[in-house]
Structure 1
């Protein structure tokens, strides 16, 4: 799926004094981490494919998908999208939901730049705030400062007016608590040039500039454990890495060696990171 342009302008609250993150400066780097939540249907999965401009969940049943991590490269930006189980479609026991949210923490360390709550604008649940409450209980009230509501639809234009959406009292309350951050996202319009994806990133940039990235004690603990596990994996693979670097020296000229060495070391780093995340997430 793909994303869209022409969404209504997002009204942002007056800018407050920015709070610097202890983990990284409050500006987005070339890497962007996003946790995705949804209320029901396929919107969350469609939005992920829209942002990445490629199929990810082909043939997948939203009722069976648990927490997944998908990465991609968009011009000048590396994006990691962490999809969680739909909060309505899944019949999750409390401990299962906690386990899946723990995975989301590990997959987005040291913390997400944004949390997206995806809704179908034609079928916004009357109890939408209650649906989001488990996330607030798990992550704390601060998560609302990093949350943006994304109203994903496939049509060229949204048939329903935004005023009618805001008649939903719980939606209005959630919108207020999220600082009026929302974006109407048309998959059809985004397919050609990805304009909606750019607009989404611009709004996330504003949020990061104001608040930094989201973190709490759970993210900090998970990040420390992941880094420790990465170091163990790195030590275990020293001989393998050394052997491969010697092979690269034999195969490539001096001109190409630096590039190939850097590519290989980045591959090993990513493999170690993913293994460490999975081990800590279990």
Structure 2
């Protein structure tokens, strides 16, 4: 039976890890066992409603930002994987948006669960996330058991720890979990403080989560961002000149800074959306590679030049060589991946 004993936790603190400046925006990618769990946690952490009353199910990725306890904090809610039966192409599109919205990488991935409704299916909810991001995402995942009933936390913890599904889930996520009482947080904010503190601790241990998808997306976003900003040069010059005619001294400096920050944010968010729509090609080929094996896939691509027969032969040879050559096959895969990304 899997142990539920978590690893020893350091004293809760809101001090940032040494490598993370307090000015660095905190990015958290949110999944959940229900849309309501995600909506409730987001409202509790950000201190405001970011979802409308009509948004009962989260079927599209949504980015929400606010200053929380002195730090710019962004929560990126991915589509709920339990409430929606999304086609693979739509799910992948929304997960690509989640990548772009949380670039250059989330400091933690939060999986919100209802501690009163832990079922054997709870573990399966994470499978699409793991398939898309890779097994390594689990060590960056924090399980948040969100509830609003007035039950004592200790008695609730005892009940949850008896649940086999939870024990398996906690084991997969390196025992990174916490209980979050929404009612208590509304009064004193202590639950948000505990959550952020654990995110800082995980980030200090593992750094932010990133992989080839995030690296590629961030490069593309920066290029797109510069292009968008360049297209606004005339508008920016005219606005700055207008501010100079209206203000002077410290007020002028303050207004200029606010405007530049506003433009920077607008260009960034627009670039993220543009790039999210362009990443489909890369992701589809990655999925095919997972399905048929990297060696076979690379071999098939190399054989494409001589037609379908060449693809079949190349796939067969590549599958065999992939197991033998190891590092060389991985290098070939990286090269092919980069070539298709650049070509796209």
With the length of structure 1 as denominator, give the TM-score of the two structures.
Answer: 0.88
Match of 1:93 in 2: 87
Pairwise CA distance, 1:26: 4.2
Q: Distance in 2 between matches of 1:235 and 1:64?
A: 35
Superposed, 1:156-195 pairs within 5 Å as 156-158=150-152, 161-195=156-190
Match of 1:105 in 2: 99
Match of 1:210 in 2: 205
Question: Is the contact between residue 26 and residue 213 of structure 1 (CA under 8 Å) also seen in structure 2?
Answer: no
* Runs ≥4 residues deviating over 4 A: none
Match of 2:131 in 1: 137
Of 255, 260, 270 in structure 1, the residue corresponding to residue 250 of structure 2 is 255
Q: Distance in 1 between matches of 2:226 and 2:170?
A: 42
Cα separation, partners in 2 of 1:161 and 1:187, compared to 1, 3 Å: closer
Match of 2:331 in 1: none
Match of 2:193 in 1: 198
Q: Which has the larger radius of gyration?
A: 2
Work out whether 1:29 is the aligned partner of 2:22: yes
Q: Distance in 1 between matches of 2:33 and 2:58?
A: 14
Work out whether 1:231 is the aligned partner of 2:230: no
Cα separation, partners in 2 of 1:179 and 1:13, compared to 1, 3 Å: farther
Q: Distance in 2 between matches of 1:222 and 1:163?
A: 42
Describe the SS at the equivalent of 2:149: coil
With the length of structure 2 as denominator, give the TM-score of the two structures.
Answer: 0.73
Question: Is the contact between residue 116 and residue 150 of structure 1 (CA under 8 Å) also seen in structure 2?
Answer: yes
Question: Is the contact between residue 27 and residue 212 of structure 1 (CA under 8 Å) also seen in structure 2?
Answer: no
Match of 2:284 in 1: none
Match of 1:127 in 2: 121
Cα separation, partners in 2 of 1:128 and 1:26, compared to 1, 3 Å: farther
Work out whether 1:272 is the aligned partner of 2:282: no
Cα separation, partners in 2 of 1:37 and 1:64, compared to 1, 3 Å: closer
Q: Distance in 2 between matches of 1:25 and 1:102?
A: 30
Match of 1:3 in 2: none
RMSD (Å) for aligned C-alpha atoms: 2.0
Superposed, 1:42-81 pairs within 5 Å as 42-63=36-57, 65-81=59-75
Describe the SS at the equivalent of 2:29: strand
> How many residues were matched structurally?
265
From the two aligned structures, give the one with the greater helix fraction. 2
Q: Distance in 2 between matches of 1:199 and 1:64?
A: 25
Give the stretch that moved more between structures: 120-129 or 153-162.
153-162
Question: Is the contact between residue 28 and residue 205 of structure 1 (CA under 8 Å) also seen in structure 2?
Answer: no
Q: Distance in 2 between matches of 1:104 and 1:129?
A: 21
Give the stretch that moved more between structures: 37-46 or 259-268.
37-46
Q: Which runs of 5+ in 1 are unaligned?
A: 1-9, 16-23
Q: Distance in 1 between matches of 2:136 and 2:56?
A: 28
Q: Deviations over 1:142-175 (max 9, x none)?
A: 1011100001111222586323323333321120
Q: Which runs of 5+ in 2 are unaligned?
A: 11-16, 278-344
Q: Distance in 2 between matches of 1:151 and 1:240?
A: 47
Describe the SS at the equivalent of 2:142: strand
| Larger RCO, structure (CA 8 Å, separation 6 or more) | 1
Cα separation, partners in 2 of 1:163 and 1:80, compared to 1, 3 Å: same
Question: Is the contact between residue 58 and residue 78 of structure 2 (CA under 8 Å) also seen in structure 1?
Answer: no
